[in-house]
A and B are shown apart, each in its own frame.
Chain A
Amino acid sequence: MTDTIAQISTPLGSGGIAIVRMSGDDALKIAHKLFYSKKLQNSEITPRLLYLGDFQLNDATEKCMMVYFKAPYSFTGEDVVEFQIHGGEYLATKVLDELINAGAVLAKNGEFSKRAFLNGKMSLDEAEATIDMINATSDAEINASSRLMHGKLFQKVKDVQDELKDALANLEVALDYPEHDDETQSIESVKQTLKNAVLTLKQLDNTHENGKKIKFGVDVAIVGKPNVGKSSILNALLNEDRAIVTDVKGTTRDTLKETISYKGLKINFIDTAGIRESEDIVEKIGVEKSRKSIEESDIVLFVLDSSEDMDDEDIQLEKTIDKRKLVYVLNKSDKPQKLSIDGAIYVSAKDNKNIDQIFEEILKKTRFDKIDYSELQITNKRHHEALKEAIIDIEEIFSRDIKTLDILDMQIKKVWKKLGEITGETANETIIDEIFSKFCLGK
């Protein structure tokens, strides 16, 4: 059985629609785990028919279309499922994440085409075109990796790999040259190396979040009671008249997302409906969405009217916001002041006063003011996967309590090879070279 592969098939970048494609024996099984459509409830799926339904994301659902191509009548000749998703790259990545969590593996460059070719779906002419494409993409990869090469990120992975290589050389010497036992490290010191390695890898893996932020932007939710001026602040931030600004409470019923770039950081502002208990069903949905925005966003701008004291509703809302994300924005600083909060930003949306401070605070909160843009973050999903798997593998070594050197060696080699998928160093020879450069062995 072959792996079921998945990848975003539409070009990266924003667009109105994106297609995520899955190919392999388990494609339909995985799709059924995540995609729900009424039409599929009581009947078998019909190939080549578009189904409208809900795709189950982490804690939300997304409306999208699904189509199934039954093997061998598909592009790759295998079972293929495609999802058409609104909203472009960001959502597409989330959908892809879910597919991988459900058992698909990330497709390599040109892998769909390769499978198509191997399953006899392409003529030699077409195959040659594909070969050119693979060459081109691998060239691009080489370029990308050489850029990565200069980055500190690459160097860090390489450092960890080198430390593991050192540990492996020690283990291999212990195994291959028993008479040199006295020179080699103990299992304990090897395990210490692993402990350090897993720490570093986890830190690196966290940069994936930053990497994602560079790629997709930081989500900033604007929340507050109705009529404190959320939409006018957004307008001031965007310098555009986009959101509906009125004095009637509860007019911004849906969340609204606007993206701008500030000092190189992409910021997605999410204007939420005024949060308050409401009987109005439409508004209730909006309120629910606001709550979700608070949870999912990286930063929450909590807008208050500085001419009034905080009431119970404000205090309730404040409690729902993670303190680490929280930025107080006190609006209406042009009016007589009643409220004062430490560290808050005092603005007047009406006069466009102090709006820049909000931006600076966002940079500070996301630590983007400290990030050197020449340092590459983990933006590559495959690298992220490799890191994640390496971390899991190391943690397994500890949970399994390995007692013999040969098994320990085997498990560390697995980790080392995973990291090699990022650095490109996977050959056994490298370890053997290390053995001879470090140890004095022989007759």
Chain B
Amino acid sequence: MDNFDAIVIGGGHAGCECALALARLGKNTLMLTISLDAIGFLPCNPSIGGTAKGHLVCEIDALGGEMGVCADKSAIQIRMLNRGKGPAVYSLRAQVDKQLYHNNMKKTLEENLNIHIKQAEVDEIISDGKSVYGVKTAQGEIYNAKAIIICSGVYLKSRIIIGEYTKNSGPNGFSRSENLSDSLKKLGVDLRRFKTGTPARMNGRTIDYSKLCVQHGEEDIQTFSFMTTVPPKNVRDCYLTYTNEKTHEVIRQNLSRAPMYSGVIKGVGPRYCPSIEDKIVRFADKTRHQIFLEPEGLNTNEVYVQGVSTSLPVDVQKKMYRTIEGLENAEIMRDAYAIEYDLIDSTTLYPSLMHKTIQGLFFAGQINGTSGYEEAAAQGIIAGINASRFLEHREPLILKRNEAYIGVLIDDLVTKGTNEPYRMMTSRAEYRLHLRQDNADKRLTPIGREIGLVDDKRWQKYQEKQQQITKIYEILNTKFKIFEIKDLYIEKNESVPTTSQTIKKMIKRPNIDIFDVNEKFHLFDQFSKRALEYVNTEVKFEGYLNQEEEDIQNFKKQENMIIPKDIDYKDLKGLRIEAKQKLDKIRPSSIGQASRISGVSPADVTILIMYIKSMR
């Protein structure tokens, strides 16, 4: 029982996907976690998805991962964001029941025959600095494995800060990891420190919703998982409120007691997830900030106050929250807090997420400098796949920037690194129009199948959808006479054409889509909504997709120019010193990756290309 193929340290979103990927690829996997109650835990907001994050969940699902399935099972409200802003940015977002999500995920892990779960704190990675052999727990047990994946989240030497009060602790009262940081440091792994935070939880019974704007879920909506057949029901609402001048005044008066400004916090905080005191200082001219009140679950009254994370002292928090409309009498059940934690420099990793100097040691999730459940899970599944392939002596799976948001995420991490917790955004993707939720399956399920994560059931369903798509395309060539379609054009405010039109031409009009055509002619009744949506988007945006495709072709050319692994940059005449150092540190696998390193100029890249060509 003490020998495993792989050991996953941590049971958060990265750890869960990682362990499941390993297990589903046939690897005997041990998951060690500080607390079993922290498996699949959502320590911050009770929601999954949103812009770019929804894309990540769909991609994890398309590869055969678990997050989408679990989110669908645990959702209590679901919405599609960005409708009307274009298909590239449609983003699914679900409010989930935290307890349900945890239970569902834990159960899935427990049911898997290849996964062994043990509550234990890891103290030491057993390694000679070149390879890994196993881990030693604080309780003194030793487990052996040739692949170790560290998914420790924010638990390494973490510290909670609430005003003047600080405590060495993991999030939400879970205990922190005391010694793993030191073990990593001994192995030569560079450590850094970041900060993040979470708002207070209120008792919903004490909130006055009567004055607030309600936000309902949407019915009959797409799901995260391709495999979900019964869409989740909307059983809870969210509410909208705002901070006001009084709120800001309380904060300004107490700024000297805010740890960010009194010097208690030294870690680097995220720009996109600032505490309320940060917002007030940095955006002094704004008179109000938006707040969402989100339910934490079905069987609890707890409400998450999105938009007001803080590390102000408890007495100030209480005063501050109560200035907000609807929260005048609200009772805080959990205080807002900031948390500081150790993490690694992600540029010390290969795109496979394996450490560059220690074979078999992988890192995934917040320890790599990201923020967010979805970002963590995305790295988890890739680290799991690649740890499995490492054990089989096979080439790692590296998704390209034109293939997936996951590819963008990992490429950014290992090529550019990050100086603050990294959040996925659609703006980070160069080929946004190609990386949609509605084609995540098309992009990634064949890859997942080849890797071995996509089971027969999913594969069959996927192929059925592809067959449907082929048939839909055939039907698109059906021609209609003007008198047959005139009404539709008039009804949709489109100028009536003068010759008969194919359906393809009809749905290229901005105001007409495939569903409008079907309503009139019922040619597509037998096809699934997902298949129709996909074709509709592909046809409507054909021109722009082609335009982007040209850019992708150029991108691919550079990505396909592989840099030999053993290249010695010191020998390259003509490179500037800064470029040599950066290239030697990142050790890019392709010319494309090299060109994305900051400090490497186009002239440096040209020189690099010439050397590679000449070395052949």
Contacts and interface: CB of A to CB of B under 8 A. Distances in A.
A410 B282 CA distance: 29
A443 to B, nearest CB: 5
B414 to A, nearest CB: 16
- Residue from A130, A407, A432, A440 whose CB has the most chain B CB atoms within 10 Å: A440
B233 interface: no
Interface stretch (B33-41, B204-212, B420-428, B526-534): B420-428
A176 B88 CA distance: 11
Given A131-B610, A132-B574, A175-B426, A407 B82 contact: no
Interface string B243-271: 00000000000000000000000000011
A436 interface: yes
A177 interface: yes
Contacts of B274: 440, 442
A264 B167 CA distance: 74
B29 interface: no
Contacts of A132: 574
Interface stretch (B19-27, B283-291, B458-466): B283-291
Contact of B427 (A110, A127, A172, A443): A172
A134 B273 CA distance: 44
Interface in B12-55: 44-45, 51-52
B583 to A, nearest CB: 15
A134 B272 contact: no
Interface string B592-613: 0000000001110011011001
B52 A176 contact: yes
B613 A176 contact: no
B606 A175 contact: no
Nearest to B551: A414
Given A134-B606, A175-B82, A406-B88, A443 B428 contact: no
A432 B85 CA distance: 19
Interface string A163-181: 0000000001011111110
Contacts of B614: 117, 124, 127
B292 A405 contact: no
Contacts of B51: 175-178
A398 to B, nearest CB: 15
Interface string B528-567: 0000000000000100100010000000000000000000
B430 interface: yes
A442 B270 contact: yes
Contacts of A406: 85-89, 432-433
A395 interface: no
B222 to A, nearest CB: 16
Interface in A70-119: 110, 114, 117-118
A117 B199 contact: no
A443 B548 CA distance: 32
Nearest to B613: A118
B433 A410 contact: yes
A178 B84 CA distance: 11
B603 A428 contact: no
- Residue from B87, B510, B606 whose CB has the most chain A CB atoms within 10 Å: B606
B175 to A, nearest CB: 25
Nearest to B240: A179
A114 B610 contact: yes
Contacts of B573: 128, 131
Contact of A440 (B87, B279, B306, B602): B279
B531 to A, nearest CB: 22
A405 B432 CA distance: 12
Given A406-B87, A406-B433, A436-B271, A179 B286 contact: no
Given A175-B82, A440-B279, A131 B607 contact: yes
Contacts of A179: 290, 292
Given A127-B614, A128-B573, A130-B610, A175 B427 contact: yes
B425 A432 contact: yes
A436 B278 CA distance: 12
B227 interface: no
B282 A134 contact: no
Contact of B610 (A127, A138, A436): A127
Nearest to B88: A406
A178 B573 CA distance: 49
A405 B85 contact: yes
A442 B272 contact: yes
A176 B425 contact: yes
Nearest to A120: B613
Contacts of A199: none
B439 to A, nearest CB: 14
Nearest to B279: A440
B64 interface: no
B595 to A, nearest CB: 11
Interface in A263-294: none
A435 interface: yes
7 contacts: A117-B610, A118-B609, A127-B610, A176-B89, A177-B51, A178-B91, A443-B307
Interface of A: 110, 114, 117-118, 124, 127-128, 130-132, 134-135, 138, 172, 174-180, 182, 401, 403-407, 410, 428-429, 431-432, 435-436, 440-443
The 7 closest A-B pairs by CB, nearest first: A406-B86, A404-B86, A138-B603, A406-B88, A442-B273, A436-B271, A440-B283
Given A124-B614, A410-B433, A442-B273, 13 more contacts: A131-B574, A134-B603, A175-B426, A176-B51, A179-B290, A179-B292, A406-B85, A428-B430, A440-B282, A440-B286, A443-B199, A443-B306, A443-B309
